[in-house]
Amino acid sequence: MKFIVSSTYLLKQLQVLGGVINSSNTLPILDNFLFELKQSSLTVSASDLETTMSSKVDVESDSEGSIALPARLLLDTLKTFPEQPLTFVVEDNNTVEISSNHGKYALAYADGAEFPKAVALDNPSTTSLEGDILATAISKTIFAAGNDDLRPVMSGVFFQFSQDNLTFVATDAHKLVKYTREDVSADAVAEFIMPKKPLNLLKGILAGSEEAVTIEYNDSNAKFTFNNSELVCRLIDGKYPNYEAVIPKENPNKLVIDRTQFLNSVRRVSIFSNKTTHQIRLKIAGAELNISAEDIDYSNKAEERLSCDYQGDDMQIGFNSRFLTEMINNLNADNVQLEMSLPNRAGILTPTDGLDEGEHVTMLVMPVMLNN
């Protein structure tokens, strides 16, 4: 088995795949990349058993074979090469020899047959959408997903597909984000929960991409195919909570404010808040928003006044500043709207501008009880 490949091109492909590999694996074979060669097409794969990703790489070759090469060693070596052709030759003594313009490097390989095979999906449903739309949907929602191992369904992003739209939802019970695209749709209704790791990989690869991504899914697995790559992952098992039930429908109090100004104020004031509750108080009266925080233990307090556009009754409501900051930070609008009903009901944050046609974002943040 022998092939010739460009060093920087191979490195670029392997760095993407390297994101799949865990720092500590139960099976030693998972510390390797699987190289499967068929003439001039080389398929490289990486897996952590839950997620498997593979990319097709163009090489010069007329041989076939499959071997597993140590990922860390290979990446560290490739990073040091300037652009040049590298020749990989499998030797008889269980090593692979890599020849560059200036030297030779031998590394031990494992049998490719030991590498776990990616799951094949039985009669999957299929949807296709532009890479950048998927990347945007992931980055708009993933930050709101939980980290609680006891509630695994909340640790992923809920994909809800229908003939009218595609909806992506994430929540950790304190905050919730619902992102909808009405300009893309699926052939049939489907719902599944995607884990964070494969989503973070996809977000990084697909940002800004105009290529189409094909998503195939059944009850247990999903497969994403794009460019010359595919990613197969196991879905999170379980039923997603009924998120529509927690979004308050009647919100008579509406506040519209400059996003950057609001974000900076909340950030500044929160420095003076209690370090365990991160509680800040919003007091709205007329066209003035008063943001304050106090840490009684240390006698620290801060208060800022902002002008805003407000319709509704005067009110006071408390929020965890970390959640609020995270949410405002994830909106790309000039102005945001905060809708509220009562101090003990969730506030709804939406952008008033900056969205594409058919794009909707709703963010919900739970209040914290104010101790007056």
Residues 266 and 312 in one domain: yes
275 in any annotated domain: yes
Model confidence at 370, in pLDDT bands (50, 70, 90)? confident
Q: Which CATH number is 43's domain given?
A: 3.10.150.10
Dist CA 172 CA 154 (whole Å) = 6
Asked if residue 368 has pLDDT above 90, the reply is yes
89-129, pLDDT tens digit by residue?
999 999 999 999 999 999 999 999 999 999 999 989 999 99
Structure tokens at 355: 């969205």
E strands present in 279-358: 279-285, 288-295, 300-307, 309-311, 315-320, 335-340, 347-351
Q: Which residue range is the domain that position 313 belongs to?
A: 248-368
Averaged pLDDT of the chain:
95
Residues 257 and 239 in one domain: no
Based on DSSP, count helices (H) and strands (E) in the chain, helices before strands.
Answer: 6, 27
Last residue of a domain, one of 215, 244, 273: 244
| Total domain count, the chain | 3
* Total residue length of the chain: 372
What pLDDT is stored for residue 372 in this prediction? 64
30-47, pLDDT tens digit by residue?
999 999 999 999 999 999
Average pLDDT over residues 134-141: 97
The angle formed by the CA atoms of residues 278, 279 and 281, to the nearest 5 degrees, is 150
Dihedral of the alpha carbons of 157, 159, 165, 170, in degrees to the nearest 10: -20
Asked if residue 371 has pLDDT above 90, the reply is no
What pLDDT is stored for residue 231 in this prediction? 98
Percent of the chain with pLDDT over 70: 100
354 in any annotated domain: yes
The reply to whether the predicted model has a pTM over 0.85 is yes
Model confidence at 149, in pLDDT bands (50, 70, 90)? confident
Average pLDDT over residues 303-327: 96
Q: Which residue has the tokens 């196991």?
A: 234
198 in any annotated domain: yes
Model confidence at 199, in pLDDT bands (50, 70, 90)? very high
Structure tokens at 296: 């009684």
Residues 155 and 54 in one domain: no
Residues 93 and 135 in one domain: no
Dist CA 287 CA 283 (whole Å) = 11
